[in-house]
Structure 1
Amino acid sequence: MAVKNLEDLFVHSLSDIYSAEKQLTKALPRLARASTNPDLATAFETHLEETQGQIERIDEVVDSLGIKLKRMKCVAMEGLVDEGKEVIEAVDKGPVRDAALIGGAQKVEHYEIACYGTLCALGKQLGYTDAVQLLAQTLDEEKATDRKLSMLAEQGGANEEAAQAA
């Protein structure tokens, strides 16, 4: 796609994160099933619901601005999802896998935080006030999910078991 101006970049970036969110809705149930920590499984299930709402918000942005998303596949999210699949296949179910799943999920969150932060900045420059409010709401959710994942990682229960298994 030829990006010639900020509006093109905004549409391209919004199309990319839309694809990313769609891919994530397919990956999150798999991650929940692969988790042994019930709090982690619940976090993945909760984030699935949030992600579906985030997709609806992107649809609202598209409708409010009268833009058309580009058909594309977010290769960054595809890679992150593939990493999650590899963890599930390569690491036995238990606390070590849970720790790896948390790390992979945080990579996803950091990618999404970067994308939504960029979209908010572009939207502000373009004067898309209503769209920025919707995108900022999603950005806040992504940051909150990252904090929840950090708390799960720092709780230590799974990590202590994993360290003892070494």
Structure 2
Amino acid sequence: MDKTDDAESLLTVALQDMLAGERLLAEHLPAIAAHASAASLSEALAREVQRARLQAAALAEDARAEGGPPNLWMRGIVDDARRDTETIDAGPLLDAALVGAVRKALAAKHVSYETAVALAERLGETALAARLRRCRDEEAASDHRLSAILTECAEAA
């Protein structure tokens, strides 16, 4: 593994990590979402899958994003959500757990995008910074929607 010793190399690591995370979420979230009971959650998770695919495509526009290692934090979140589907009976309680897992993923992605935005701005890569900022803002909006669904699930549990 090469040493990360400047803003450019850290931006590359961030882009690779985010792309790996988006791809992992897009690949594994459909199987997790299949366990959702609430229609509102099923719809929200379907949107998350589509958004992860779109954000992966946006990240892949920058060649530096390819070729990174697996994303460990997203793998952990996906594994936790999968375990929830195996240990919590279907219904509002599982729905609440799934919302929590997806919101963890969104929070991690939000922070990662913020880091990459700051680095891109520092390096004068304004187009990349704008693209990353849009992705970051989508994370916040999605988290807000899922927060409302969490309230519904918790009240029904």
Q: Which residue does 1:42 correspond to in 2? A: 43
Question: Where do 4+ consecutive residues of structure 1 move more than 2 Å?
Answer: 67-71
Q: Which residue does 1:25 correspond to in 2? A: 26
* Contact kept? 1:116, 1:139, Cα under 8 Å: yes
Q: Which residue does 1:59 correspond to in 2? A: 60
1:160 aligns with 2:152: no
For 1:69 and 1:7, how far apart are their aligned partners in 2?
Answer: 15
Q: How far off its partner does 1:31 sit?
A: 2.4
User: Which amino acid counterpart does residue 143 of structure 2 have in structure 1?
Assistant: D
The match for 2:117 among 93, 108, 120 is 120
CA, structure 1 residues 148+68, in 2 after alignment: closer, same or farther (shift >3 Å)?
closer
Q: How far off its partner does 1:30 sit?
A: 1.4
Aligned-residue sequence identity (percent) comes to 29
- Structure 1 unaligned runs (5+)? none
TM-score w.r.t. length of structure 2: 0.95
Number of aligned positions between the proteins: 156
Q: Which residue does 2:84 correspond to in 1? A: 87
Rg bigger for which structure? Answer: 1
Q: How far off its partner does 1:18 sit?
A: 0.6
Q: Which residue does 1:133 correspond to in 2? A: 130
> 1:76-132, CA deviations, whole angstroms, 9 ceiling, x for partnerless residues?
111001000110000000110000101111100000000001000010001000001
User: Which amino acid counterpart does residue 22 of structure 1 have in structure 2?
Assistant: R
Alignment root-mean-square deviation, CA: 1.2
> 1:56-92, CA deviations, whole angstroms, 9 ceiling, x for partnerless residues?
11122x15xxx36333101111100100011000000
Q: Which residue does 2:148 correspond to in 1? A: 151
For 2:133 and 2:76, how far apart are their aligned partners in 1?
Answer: 25
